[in-house]
Structure 1
């Protein structure tokens, strides 16, 4: 329970203490974001309100208290606020869709750079397993000359992606409800970039974080015995969709780069290479269609 205080600094301190006791490493940040959500303030504005000792209405303190209780059960912050920031976007997320992670922003940059380096005026890029639409909509927004296709076969995730597409309003993005292996035969041999953040956790490797284990959809997490079943399917589908010289970009776990490079090399891809994220953990592997 939060104590009956009425100032932003008191509410922030109490919220951060409660969240820290629940094992949340980002307790201070989460407290600021929850208070900001209730007061409709940005994080910087919340920090300013702390410095000025801004007073809070009783009903707002009670709302924060309720949200802190939910977060203390390890319900994802993004489910509580209903939004997740991703590159330039604010995406709607909630139950049934994978919450996009900061490391995926870097993986998306690889695909965007590949598109921007192309000489043609209207390249095709495909996001296989789009989830919330984070990758596809970022590509559409940041490379407006490209035609972006986003494929998803989960009804729940497709609904979230559809809402985000409406919010972003990117006319060059198209959502397609289909399985990864069968999608977009009309585009065979035309795509310049195929990107995916597939499920890649081995079935027996249950995630430690409760936010992932209990709230992210299992279909977006687990990729078979070694975690690479969907990667193998991706290799085949991407080879079908890409034109010669096209680029495949796959996000994966930090210990999977070598195995994925071997899969791609065996399938005839050229120049498979693995790249780290900002924490220097292997995060993405690329390859070129022969």
Structure 2
């Protein structure tokens, strides 16, 4: 059988995805094509023709995406920083918006003295995205990641093992509850940076099918106002941070002021609310007061 022109297949797939409400139809179609061919999306133009079996595989994936199965479940990966993570059923899919929080964490670590070994904690690590991306970018850091859900923790362990195989510094995974007031007691007052992308969506929120039907409920919802987990977690963050340490917490776009108020009530200072690339409130940062001289 003759090979098939790829670009018309991608354009038709994008139209099919747009018709069912997929938010980024052309991007998704191109990423699925790149996945089938085993190439980077930006190199698709170098592959103008595909084998009939590849075209059939692409059509199957597009049909699954049109059924609103998440793109990342179809490709098996999601990106954070410079690394790719394995994801699938049972774990929250890292979102591009969290890259901004990751960039903030790296900038905060860069400001530390160069002879200081940073200590980082990632609460509600899920797939391990933030913890492993930080460990990759800062191999000098000691990174701890906390996750309660057994399925998510299995994905985090898989990703952590893969990063070790690629030469990254190991992280320490903790099967624990971020709402436990004694969490990581041995690190109290010693942590430079705490990051968290916790469950923060209000229970009444209406979500896209990719999220509502495929991300774990436990990783999404934070009670009626979205703050149930954050509210209990903030005092622990304040306890973990060393003087001058800092935290960044991702939140629902309705809750920036609420998270800021919780951080202030816990005695943190230098509180700043950060928007995402769409201008929506996305994460709040704060610091513990520096040590008295």
Fold-level similarity (TM above 0.5):
yes
Query: How do residues 1-290 of structure 1 correspond to structure 2 at under 5 angstroms?
Result: 6-49=4-47, 54-119=48-113, 120-169=115-164, 170-182=168-180, 183-207=183-207, 209-290=208-289
Classify the secondary structure of the residue corresponding to 2:194: strand
The count of corresponding residues between Structure 1 and Structure 2 is 282
Measure, in 2, the Cα distance between the counterparts of 1:116 and 1:174: 21
Pair 1:22–1:5, CA change in 2 (3 A): farther
Corresponding residue SS for 2:233 = helix
* Runs (4+) off by over 3 Å: none
CA contact (8 A) 1:146 1:172 kept: no
Per-residue CA deviation, residues 103-159 of structure 1 (Å, 9 max, x unaligned), is 101011111211111115211110000011110011111112111001101111111
Contact 2:81-2:102 within 8 A present in 1 as well: no
Stretches of structure 1 that go unaligned for 5 or more consecutive residues are none
Q: Give the secondary structure class of the aligned counterpart of 2:99.
A: helix
Tell me how far apart the structure 2 counterparts of residues 248 and 13 of structure 1 sit (CA, whole Å). 43
**5+ unaligned residues in a row in structure 2: which ranges?**
none
Shift of 1:226: 0.7
TM-score with structure 2 length normalisation? 0.92
Q: Secondary structure at the match of 2:247?
A: strand
Task: Judge conservation of contact 2:136–2:169 (CA < 8 Å) in 1.
Answer: no
Q: What RMSD in Å do the two structures reach over aligned CA positions?
A: 1.6
TM-score by length of 1: 0.93
User: Following the alignment from structure 1 to structure 2, what is the Cα–Cα distance between the partners of residues 229 and 130?
Assistant: 17
CA distance in 2, matches of 1:179, 1:44: 41
